[in-house]
Amino acid sequence: MTYEEWFKSQAKLHKTIMNKLNNKSIGEIIEYFRYENMKINEPDFCPLYKENKKCHEMENLNCYLCACPYFVFNDNGILKQNEKTLYSFCSIKSKNGSTFEGDDYIHHDCSNCTIPHKEKFIKKRFNKDWLEIMKNVLINKL
């Protein structure tokens, strides 16, 4: 599965959950997306739930923004850097991010960054349309 396919699949899953929570307040929706609740009530939302693992080891992990609005990607590549293709980057250059490289590729690694999984961050950017929040991540596709 490409990252774009995963991203679109997550958007559909998110929309399904949001439709179910349509009559809830912002606080109740954000609370519903807490990791502990999601792994019980939405086990198909993330494959890590079945393994009882988190994508980021942190207290109070919230899964509302399972993909970060600052993680920019293109499965076809964004640009060439020294004979390698850059496929993703952090648009805010988070100090907790890094890159991983192979012989011909460069990807952003945000595994040490917890910004989008904090409820305070989510409340500031809350929008019931997840794709509206995420509109800038998929270069030239949305």
Identify the burial level of 57 via C-beta atoms within 10 angstroms of its C-beta, where 0-12 means exposed, 13-18 middle and 19 or more buried. exposed
pLDDT tens digits for range 20-37 = 999 999 999 999 999 999
pTM here is 0.86
CA–CA distance, 134 with 65 (Å, rounded to integer): 9
pLDDT tens digits for range 104-132 = 999 999 889 999 999 999 998 887 777 77
pLDDT for res 141: 52
pLDDT for res 135: 72
For residues 88 and 51, the answer to whether their CB atoms sit within 8 Å is: no
Q: What percent of the chain has pLDDT over 90?
A: 68
CA–CA distance, 23 with 51 (Å, rounded to integer): 31
Q: C-alpha 94: how far from its chain's center?
A: 15
Q: What is the mean pLDDT of residues 56-83?
A: 92
pLDDT for res 51: 95
What residues does 81 pair with on adjacent strands? 84
pLDDT for res 142: 42
Does the pLDDT of residue 68 top 70, yes or no? yes
